[in-house]
Chain A
Amino acid sequence: MSELSELYQQVILDHNKKPRNFRKLEHANHSAEGYNPLCGDQLTVYLELENDSVKDVSFEGSGCAISKAAASMMTQAVKGKTKPQVEQLFQEFHTMVTGDPEEEIESNQLGHLKIFAGVREFPVRVKCATLSWHTMHAALNNQEIVSTE
């Protein structure tokens, strides 16, 4: 179960069970819906942007443990960041989960999000980990609906 424990670490299981910022954001001025038609995963990301910075962020929806934990930890990671910083983090996260499993992860920005590095071993689960990020990107750029297909 070595690879398994790498994917389903306690932190991920905890965020799955008790997702943070899991609510509708009343003062949101940006939002987007994300779908993963393959799994039926569906979530909405709400953003309150002020001077191009994320003042507050939340999400709602349903999905697997990986997608829920990724969304939960994403909201924690992007709060307080500027739009370019969020986009940069998305790029680094995406590179990490789609990268070669043998390669070292270079980014220093990812912090706790490095826990998702295990997803690289499970190509079919990459979309689960990135759905919330794609949806965040869409919300930042005023797209309303994003699909990972």
Chain B
Amino acid sequence: MLAEAKSAESTQAPGTTWDVERIRADFPVLHQTVNGKPLVYLDNAASSQVPQVVIERGSMYLEQEHSNIHRGVHYLSQKATTAYEGARETVKRFINARESKECIFVRGATEGINLVMHGYGRKFVSAGDEIIISAMEHHANIVPWQMLCEEKGAKLRVIPMNDAGELLLDEYEGLLNERTRLVAVNHVSNALGTINPIKAMIESAHKYGVPVLIDGAQGAPHIIVDVQDLDCDFYAFSGHKMYAPTGSGVVFGKARWLEEMNPFQGGGDMIKSVTFEKTTLADLPNKFEAGTPAIASQIGLGAAIDYLNSIGREQAARYEHELLRYATERLSGIEGVRIIGTAREKASVLSFVIDEIHPHDIGTILDQEGIAVRAGHHCAQPVMQRFNVPATARASFAFYNTRQEVDVLASTIEKVIEIFS
């Protein structure tokens, strides 16, 4: 109820300008000082902040509804189950899945990808088969497939990219063949910000009957996802990168695959019946949800989606796009700053390096001025190798960031250069 009341209050008429101060008021964590300076939180691609309505929804669950789901005949268990399954319905509408049972709750995108590796990969991939990933994947969408390839004697093929950080689609077409068993690519690159043309890539794979998994960890928070329109076979994303608590996340899978796949983990809730001779698996989605899940976090994810809908997802995306454009312009104007990832289509992420200054030194100095950025390889070491840098500094934006914050970032980067000159 709280979520609904607050949502209605912050609903914004279409066409009006983005009232960022009003949005910021929804996020308690933003209103603090760090090292005596106002917090400038630009590490949203690592984890985004949580609005008050989501915090309240989680608290309400813990205060009034907490119990285990799917098993008790008692009042609280029914309340908890209703709230948890309600969140699944919300997720289903959020990504426009055909059925809510296609939305499997997981800890985050990483667990979602691993679920597909175990459930689909270990069943359908064998020696000599091929799996295609891209040169801009997060380790979470590389390592599971390497593990599978090693186990099965299959081969990992990698779609290369150009110097702007765009996938070479002709090369991709050339990699697809009758031995390909899966294509696994990200929607948006966490290290470069590139938005990949996944709809066309999915269409190409389907010509060979090859299913496609999309790592949507950076996609779902910024782009409106319609899994039916994309026609993707799997889409994995994390709640904590889209304003929900950690421990929440979803992997969407087409029912036909999920029905055929092996289960992921064994345990309670994923079975119909167990004897020592034989276990009969539960129907979807329970087949993939062994054990007690992060109930409060997944309910929080539902509340976060309600919040996104209430503020207007399209307006939020437009605002973020404009902020990224402004930040790109400001940082490009500073001598010595080089932006890594200059694709035509980008979302949220601005990775950069400064001549002769290591990203960790940049990160430490920015932190002293209250600015939170990520400095490092962003769990995408092959991307760093491709651009021949050990690491980058990365500012990543959300719809609650402001132009003033971009200005503070730019002037502090100038200060960094001055210190090291």
**A38-56 interface bits toward B, Cβ cutoff 8 Å, 1 = contact, 0 = none:** 1111100000000000000
Interchain residue pairs A-B with the least CB separation, the first 4: A64-B358, A40-B390, A64-B360, A4-B368
Identity of the chain B residue whose Cβ is nearest the Cβ of A62 in the assembled complex: B390
List 13 extra interface pairs beyond A38-B376, A64-B359, CB under 8 A: A1-B368, A3-B35, A4-B364, A7-B364, A13-B419, A13-B420, A40-B377, A40-B390, A64-B358, A65-B358, A65-B420, A66-B361, A124-B364
Contact B368 A3 (CB under 8 A): yes
Q: Using Cβ atoms and an 8 Å threshold, which residues of chain B touch A65?
A: 357-358, 361, 420
In the docked arrangement, what's the CA distance between A138 and B420, Å? 31
Contact B419 A8 (CB under 8 A): yes
Which residues from 1 to 22 on chain A have a C-beta closer than 8 Å to any C-beta of chain B? 1, 3-4, 7-8, 13, 16
Query: Which label, helix, strand, loop or mixed, suits the secondary structure of the B interface?
Result: helix
Q: Does B54 contact A (CB under 8 A)?
A: no
Contact A40 B419 (CB under 8 A): no
> In angstroms, how far is the closest chain A Cβ from the Cβ of B310?
37
In the docked arrangement, what's the CA distance between A84 and B365, Å? 36
**B192-228 interface bits toward A, Cβ cutoff 8 Å, 1 = contact, 0 = none:** 0000000000000000000000000000000000000
Determine which of B364, B381, B419 lies in contact with A125 in the assembled complex, contact meaning CB atoms within 8 Å: B364
Contact A40 B420 (CB under 8 A): no
Contact A8 B361 (CB under 8 A): yes
In the docked arrangement, what's the CA distance between A63 and B361, Å? 10
**Chain A CB within 10 Å, residue with most, of B361, B381, B390:** B361
Contact A39 B360 (CB under 8 A): yes
Determine which of A40, A42, A124 lies in contact with B384 in the assembled complex, contact meaning CB atoms within 8 Å: A40
17 A–B pairs (Cβ distance < 8 Å), ordered by A: A4-B365, A4-B368, A4-B419, A8-B365, A13-B419, A39-B391, A40-B377, A40-B381, A40-B384, A40-B390, A40-B391, A63-B358, A65-B357, A65-B358, A122-B364, A124-B364, A128-B360
In the docked arrangement, what's the CA distance between A13 and B357, Å? 11
**Could you tell me how many residues of chain B have their Cβ less than 8 Å away from some Cβ of chain A?**
17
In the docked arrangement, what's the CA distance between A38 and B378, Å? 10
> In angstroms, how far is the closest chain A Cβ from the Cβ of B366?
10
Contact A39 B420 (CB under 8 A): no
Contact A39 B368 (CB under 8 A): no
Q: Using Cβ atoms and an 8 Å threshold, which residues of chain B touch A128?
A: 360
Q: Using Cβ atoms and an 8 Å threshold, which residues of chain A touch B419?
A: 4, 8, 13
> In angstroms, how far is the closest chain B Cβ from the Cβ of A25?
23
**Chain A CB within 10 Å, residue with most, of B357, B360, B391:** B360
Binding site for A on B (CB under 8 A): 35, 357-361, 364-365, 368, 376-377, 381, 384, 390-391, 419-420
Q: Using Cβ atoms and an 8 Å threshold, which residues of chain A touch B391?
A: 39-40
In the docked arrangement, what's the CA distance between A42 and B420, Å? 21
Q: Using Cβ atoms and an 8 Å threshold, which residues of chain B touch A124?
A: 364
Q: Using Cβ atoms and an 8 Å threshold, which residues of chain B touch A122?
A: 364
Q: Using Cβ atoms and an 8 Å threshold, which residues of chain B touch A64?
A: 358-361
In the docked arrangement, what's the CA distance between A128 and B360, Å? 9
> In angstroms, how far is the closest chain B Cβ from the Cβ of A60?
14
In the docked arrangement, what's the CA distance between A66 and B357, Å? 11
In the docked arrangement, what's the CA distance between A66 and B375, Å? 15
Q: Using Cβ atoms and an 8 Å threshold, which residues of chain A touch B376?
A: 38-40
In the docked arrangement, what's the CA distance between A1 and B366, Å? 11
Contact A39 B361 (CB under 8 A): no
> In angstroms, how far is the closest chain B Cβ from the Cβ of A143?
23
In the docked arrangement, what's the CA distance between A62 and B377, Å? 14
Identity of the chain B residue whose Cβ is nearest the Cβ of A42 in the assembled complex: B390
Identity of the chain A residue whose Cβ is nearest the Cβ of B419 in the assembled complex: A8
> In angstroms, how far is the closest chain A Cβ from the Cβ of B385?
10
Identity of the chain B residue whose Cβ is nearest the Cβ of A40 in the assembled complex: B390
Identity of the chain B residue whose Cβ is nearest the Cβ of A7 in the assembled complex: B364
Q: Using Cβ atoms and an 8 Å threshold, which residues of chain A touch B35?
A: 3
Q: Using Cβ atoms and an 8 Å threshold, which residues of chain A touch B390?
A: 39-42, 62
Q: Using Cβ atoms and an 8 Å threshold, which residues of chain B touch A62?
A: 390
In the docked arrangement, what's the CA distance between A125 and B368, Å? 13
Q: Using Cβ atoms and an 8 Å threshold, which residues of chain A touch B364?
A: 4, 7, 122, 124-125
Identity of the chain B residue whose Cβ is nearest the Cβ of A66 in the assembled complex: B361
**A58-88 interface bits toward B, Cβ cutoff 8 Å, 1 = contact, 0 = none:** 0000111110000000000000000000000
In the docked arrangement, what's the CA distance between A70 and B239, Å? 40
**A122-139 interface bits toward B, Cβ cutoff 8 Å, 1 = contact, 0 = none:** 101100100000000000
> In angstroms, how far is the closest chain A Cβ from the Cβ of B283?
43
> In angstroms, how far is the closest chain A Cβ from the Cβ of B8?
42
Identity of the chain B residue whose Cβ is nearest the Cβ of A125 in the assembled complex: B364
Identity of the chain B residue whose Cβ is nearest the Cβ of A39 in the assembled complex: B360
In the docked arrangement, what's the CA distance between A144 and B395, Å? 37
